[in-house]
Structure 1
Amino acid sequence: MQTSLPRNVNFTHAVKWTASVAQIFGYAFTAFDMAPWNIYLFLIGLVGWFSVGVMWNDRAIMLIHLVALGSMIAGLLSR
C-alpha cells in the first residue's frame, strides 16, 4: 500500500525542483550570453527557493536568496 505525502510536501517539492531547473537554465543561458533570459530564469529560481525557505522556515535559505537577489539588482542598476 502506497502512502501519499501531505499536500504541502508535494507543493514544496514541485516548487524546489522548478526553481532548481530554472536556475540551471539560467546558468546555461549566461554561458551562452542569452541576456536578458538568463536574468528572468535566475529570478524565477530565486523567488522559488526563497518561497521554499519560507515554507520550511529555513532562514539560511531565505538569506542566501535575498543576498543573491540584492546582488542581481545591484548589478542591473550599475549598467
Structure 2
Amino acid sequence: MKEENARAYWAANVRLILTYIAIWFVVSYGFGILLVDVLNHIEFFGFKLGFWFAQQGSIYAFLVLIVMYAVSMNKLDRKFDVHEE
C-alpha cells in the first residue's frame, strides 16, 4: 500500500471512529443523563423513555453501533483494497 493511500485510509478510519463515538456519546450521555427529564414524558414499552435510555437503550445503541462499524470498515477496506478474503 502506498503511503499516500495508507494516510487516506487511516484518515477515513479515524473519521469513521469519531463519528460513531459522537453518536454513542449523544445516545448514552445526552439521552440517558442530560435529556432524561424531557424524555421521561414519552412512554416506550411501558417505561419512561429517559429511564429506558439510561438503563437499556444506550446498551442496545452501542451494540448496533458495533455492527454498523464492522459493516462500514468492511466497505472501507474494500474501497482501499485492503480487505481480507
With the length of structure 2 as denominator, give the TM-score of the two structures.
0.39
Greater relative contact order structure (CA < 8 Å, 6+ sep): 2
With the length of structure 1 as denominator, give the TM-score of the two structures.
0.41
Structure whose alpha-carbon radius of gyration is higher: 2
| Greater percentage in strand | 2
